[in-house]
Amino acid sequence: KQWYQRRVAITAGGLFEVKKFGDEYFTFLTKCKNPKACTILLRGASKDVLMEVERNLLDAMNVARNVMIDPFLVPGGGAVEAAVAHRLIEKSKEIQGVGQWPYRALAEALRIIPKTLMQNCGVNTIRTMTNLTAKHATTGSTWGVDGETGNIVDMEDFGVWDTLQVKSQVFKTAIETAILLLRIDDIVSGVKKQSDIDAEKMAGKFQAANPQEGPEE
């Protein structure tokens, strides 16, 4: 049975080759009739370049996997962040008092993504961000930043998309991390430093060993 399986595996391949790359030999089975798996051979001028190529390939494969599992896309180029920030600002206007500030703080945090894209392109960040906000307030929620020129473009026509699964997970992780940091600050602020406790203990021992004499009568 084992010999039969090997024979089928060899005869099912349309072409059997042995190629040399550098100082090593590689065996290739190509033009198979019914392939179940494949091997990707990566080559690079240096180890760093090869690791970067491998990382990019893994990222691309993970994106394809996410689209197959959850086939929903959202506009890229900071369009989602700008749209959510605009909705949060509008929601904050309906709330009176300090309750509106969490909405505004989250909106400013989300706007960092399109602002970073603008800074990388070397455009005027304030003017471009104002134009992007105006687009989302009047036209629609698919406007984002062109990562090469820094112009405001419609991502639906531009063809830049992000996976909904990754984008939603990024939002959840960011909010949970912020909540965790706030909780840690509350815990730390309510606990005395160990150095202060040790100093108080040393002061107590010193006073016990050297009691102060009362005034003479």
Encoding tokens for residue 99? 């309750």
Is residue 9 pLDDT above 80, yes or no? Answer: no
Q: What is the pLDDT of residue 23?
A: 81
> Which of 136, 117, 115 has its CA nearest to residue 126?
115
Q: What percentage of the chain exceeds 70 in pLDDT?
A: 79
- Whether residue 144 contacts residue 82, with contact meaning beta carbons closer than 8 Å, is answered with yes
Q: What is the signed CA dihedral for 37, 40, 41, 45, rounded to 10 degrees? A: -170
Tell me which of 217 and 37 has the higher pLDDT: 37
Tell me which of 39 and 117 has the higher pLDDT: 117
Is residue 216 pLDDT above 60, yes or no? Answer: no
- Find the range with the poorest average confidence among 58-67, 84-93, 147-156, 184-193: 184-193
Tell me which of 206 and 82 has the higher pLDDT: 82
Which helix (H) or strand (E) segment is 143 a member of? Answer: strand 143-145
Q: What is the signed CA dihedral for 168, 173, 174, 180, rounded to 10 degrees? A: 150
Tell me which of 211 and 66 has the higher pLDDT: 66
Q: Which residues contact 169 (CB under 8 A, 6 or more apart)?
A: none
Q: What is the pLDDT of residue 217?
A: 46
Give the integer Cα–Cα distance in Å for 151 and 132.
9
Is residue 13 pLDDT above 80, yes or no? Answer: no
Q: What is the pLDDT of residue 15?
A: 78
- Find the range with the poorest average confidence among 86-95, 129-138, 178-187: 178-187
User: pTM to 2 decimals?
Assistant: 0.64
* ∠ CA 110-103-76, rounded to 5°: 25
Q: What is the pLDDT of residue 118?
A: 92
Give the integer Cα–Cα distance in Å for 159 and 155.
6
Q: What is the pLDDT of residue 184?
A: 76
**Average confidence (pLDDT) over 40-67:** 88
Q: Chain-wide mean pLDDT for the chain?
A: 81
Q: What is the signed CA dihedral for 77, 52, 42, 44, rounded to 10 degrees? A: 120
